[in-house]
Amino acid sequence: MKVIVQHNFRDKENDLVLRTAGEELEVPRKRAEYLANLQLVKIVKAQKGGDPKSPIEAED
């Protein structure tokens, strides 16, 4: 699940790596919910649907 860091924090589960505001991370759903509850990250909603053609094919 994708999340965007809202506040700088040290990531305890990854050797205290500094996560900075604006950084995108891919984390398991449970961890995303945990970090969101602490208001450290914002969960990015998955976009579904869209145009099935690639951008190159759409130009034709």
Q: What are the pLDDT digits (tens) for 2-38?
A: 999 999 999 999 999 999 999 999 999 999 999 999 9
pTM: 0.72
Q: Residue 53 domain-assigned? A: no
Q: Residue 60 domain-assigned? A: no
Q: Residue 31 domain-assigned? A: yes
Whether residue 41 is predicted with pLDDT greater than 90 in this model: the reply is: yes
Q: CB neighbours (10 Å) of residue 15?
A: 7
Contacts of 32 (CB under 8 A, 6+ apart): 1, 3, 41, 43
Dihedral sign of CA atoms 24, 2, 4, 12 in order: negative
Domain ranges, residue 20: 2-46
Q: Residue 11 domain-assigned? A: yes
Q: Residue 59 domain-assigned? A: no
